[in-house]
Amino acid sequence: MTVTAQSDEELIERYGRGDAAAFETLYRRHEMRIWRYLQRYVNNRATADELMQEVWFAVARDAQRYEPSARFTTWLYTIAHNRMIDSVRKSRRQTSLEAIGYEAEPVVHQLTADPCAGPFAAAVARDQAGGLARALEKLPAEQREAFLLQTEGDLGVEEIAAITDSSFETTKSRLRYARTKLRELLKEYA
Amino acid sequence: MNEVPPGRDEPDDVDELYRRASAGDDSRPSEWVRHAVLTHAAHLAAERARQTGHAGRAPRREVNQPWRRPAIFGTLAAAALAGLLVAPHFLPPPTPNVAMKSQAPATSAPTPDVRQYAAPPAARREAAAPPAAPSPAVPPQEAEQRSSGMLAEQRPPPAATADERKLAKAGASARNETTSPEAAASLAAKNAPAKLAGTVSAQREAAAPMADAAVRADPGARLRQAAETGDAPALQRVLDEQSDIDGRDDSGRTALLLAAQHGQDHAVEVLLAHGADPNAADSNGDTPLKAAIHGHRQAIAAALQRAGAR
């Protein structure tokens, strides 16, 4: 069986036994989803980079403690949620890195929009992405997180409730409000 | 296990809008994040693989396992105690005692000290041998307290272990004046942990004056010490003396690398402003940038990158 055909749970267990390739597969599999969850919640690239590193360092460190009874995704997003909450609390006390002039490494910053599609299509795609970022920012933090956990983490209401330490009904309500508001805010892109 | 969990609503138009808008989002994590994460994960995996594959051979890295720490430091503490007991027997007798001995009447019973000085060297060694047994010398609980105190103060653990070995020998070697300036400087650069047993403290105290002298005499050692501890005035003083800013210690570490490793933001800025080489690697190939990333020192990593670190 190839590494890529394995489930998340098998991969993390393999990594816990010392298989670095399994971790890399797991990382690449979840990299963009967890990044979007973090970046769209904190809406700050440098902070999202920091959080991304912290989350995956924690995954690597605690891999041997992972229990297969829980889905890997639930475990992963629980770690991400906790790190994010810590970061938000910290940022209330500290000046943000960007505010003090921190610049992330000049990164290879490739556009995901297909360059062959032409400049107009690329501009439309960027406009939509910007609209999404603005729409998400207008949501209350709890609704935004619940929605991102559902869409990016592919998690169910019960799992989101457990991760955010909220009741099932509260979580369901947050999701409903988030979707209603986003539908309204994104209708111009429909 | 990866199927959509129960409770998840069916995808609707908002999901569709979200996915379409996401397709135009060009943001992605920085490359350094991926590099740092995968490097760290590979490092941990190699450690785990080694532990799994060579469980019976007790490799060097297993020193990091918590259950081994009390045993190792207990042994070290016992060796240090034995060293303290043995070392005085190799020293020349203090003049007052010798004078007392020569003046004492032949019939008076000699004190234990006088008896030891009067005994031949072989007999002295035999007399000192019993306390060298490790287990009765240091109770396990006490050894654990000492070891945990040290680990909290010294990073990385393997270096701390090597230093303790040096410290166990320091009492005798300092008196014999055979300690090299570099070794003495290295000893002085480490903090003297008050939590150590009195025996080790005594030996450390014996070595300290010499180590201090060695550091004072070597501008490079002073520069590295100031960088490591973030002592800005001392750093500026040494830099004003035009010492070699990229001078290295025994492990090939520059002042900039030490400052990056210990999270000394200001020292890093000062050293870079004075032209320190941001890419100077130590003998293990670790660069200041690598150390900053490994230690989650975001501001230092950014400063190093601005200075051209790769």
pLDDT tens-digit profile of A93-111? 654 444 433 333 333 233 3
CB-CB neighbors (< 8 A) of A190 in chain B = 13, 17
The CATH superfamily assigned to B219-310 is Ankyrin repeat-containing domain (1.25.40.20)
Lowest mean pLDDT among A78-82, A121-125, B106-110, B215-219: B106-110
- What is the percentage of chain A residues whose pLDDT exceeds 90? 58
Lowest mean pLDDT among B154-158, B221-225, B231-235, B265-269: B154-158
Two tokens, residue B177: 């004046």
Residue A112 has its nearest CB partner, among B26, B30, B49, at B26
Segments making up each domain of chain B, as ranges: 69-79+140-217, 219-310
Given a contact cutoff of 8 angstroms between Cβ atoms, the answer to whether B45 and A23 are in contact is yes
How would residue A59 be classed by pLDDT, with cut points 50, 70 and 90?
A: very high
Residues in chain B: 310
What pLDDT does A153 receive? 92
Q: Whole-number mean pLDDT of chain B?
A: 62
Question: DSSP class of residue A189?
Answer: G
- φ/ψ bin of B138: left (φ > 0), alpha (ψ from -120 to 50), beta (otherwise): beta
Q: Does A96 touch chain B (CB under 8 A)?
A: no
| Region A16-25 average pLDDT | 92
Beta-carbon neighbour count of residue B309 at 10 Å?
Answer: 23
- Model pLDDT for residues B71-83, shown as the tens digit of each residue: 677 778 787 787 7
Q: Whole-number mean pLDDT of chain A?
A: 82
CB-CB neighbors (< 8 A) of A127 in chain B = 24
Domain A111-190, CATH number (from 1.10.3470.10, 1.10.10.10, 3.40.50.2300, 3.40.605.10): 1.10.10.10
Residue position matching structure tokens 């000062």: B270
Residue B108 has pLDDT above 60, yes or no: no
d(CA A155, CA A163): 10
How would residue A82 be classed by pLDDT, with cut points 50, 70 and 90?
A: very high
What pLDDT does B203 receive? 47
Which of A189, A161, A186 lies closest to A175, judged by CA?
A: A161
Residue B14 has pLDDT above 50, yes or no: yes
Residue A50 has its nearest CB partner, among B28, B34, B298, at B298
Taking only residues 28 to 67 of chain B, the set having a beta carbon closer than 8 angstroms to any beta carbon of chain A reads 28-34, 36-38, 40-42, 44-52
| Region B108-124 average pLDDT | 38
- Model pLDDT for residues A113-170, shown as the tens digit of each residue: 344 446 666 677 777 788 888 899 999 999 999 999 999 999 999 999 999 999 999 9
- Model pLDDT for residues B45-54, shown as the tens digit of each residue: 998 888 776 5
| Region A68-76 average pLDDT | 89
Strand extents, DSSP E, chain A: none
- Radius of gyration of chain B from its Cα atoms, rounded to whole angstroms: 28
Residue B92 has pLDDT above 50, yes or no: yes
Strand extents, DSSP E, B179-279: none
Q: Do B26 and A111 touch (CB under 8 A)?
A: yes
Best probe of the A interface among B10, B28, B31, by most A CBs < 10 A, is B28
Residue A97 has its nearest CB partner, among B14, B49, B298, at B298
Given a contact cutoff of 8 angstroms between Cβ atoms, the answer to whether A36 and B22 are in contact is yes
Q: Does A185 touch chain B (CB under 8 A)?
A: no
How would residue A72 be classed by pLDDT, with cut points 50, 70 and 90?
A: very high
The pTM score is 0.45
Q: Residue B14, exposed/middle/buried by CB under 10 A (0-12, 13-18, 19+)?
A: buried
Class of domain A1-103: mainly alpha
Segments making up each domain of chain A, as ranges: 1-103, 111-190
Residue B7 has pLDDT above 80, yes or no: no
Which of A36, A116, A52 lies closest to A84, judged by CA?
A: A52
Residue B30 has its nearest CB partner, among A24, A104, A112, at A104
What pLDDT does B159 receive? 39
| Higher pLDDT pick, B82 / B117 | B82
- Model pLDDT for residues B229-275, shown as the tens digit of each residue: 777 777 777 777 767 888 888 888 899 998 888 778 878 888 888 88
CB-CB neighbors (< 8 A) of B50 in chain A = 18
Instruction: Give the CA-trace dihedral at B268, B273, B276, B278, to 10 degrees.
Output: 60
- Chain centroid to Cα B183, Å, comes to 13
Who contacts A14 (Cβ-Cβ below 8 Å, separation ≥6)? A6, A22
Q: What does each C-alpha distance from B36 to A54, A60, B40, B292, B297 come to in angstroms? A: 10, 12, 6, 10, 12
Which chain B residue has its CA at the smallest distance from A100's CA? B299
- Chain centroid to Cα B137, Å, comes to 25
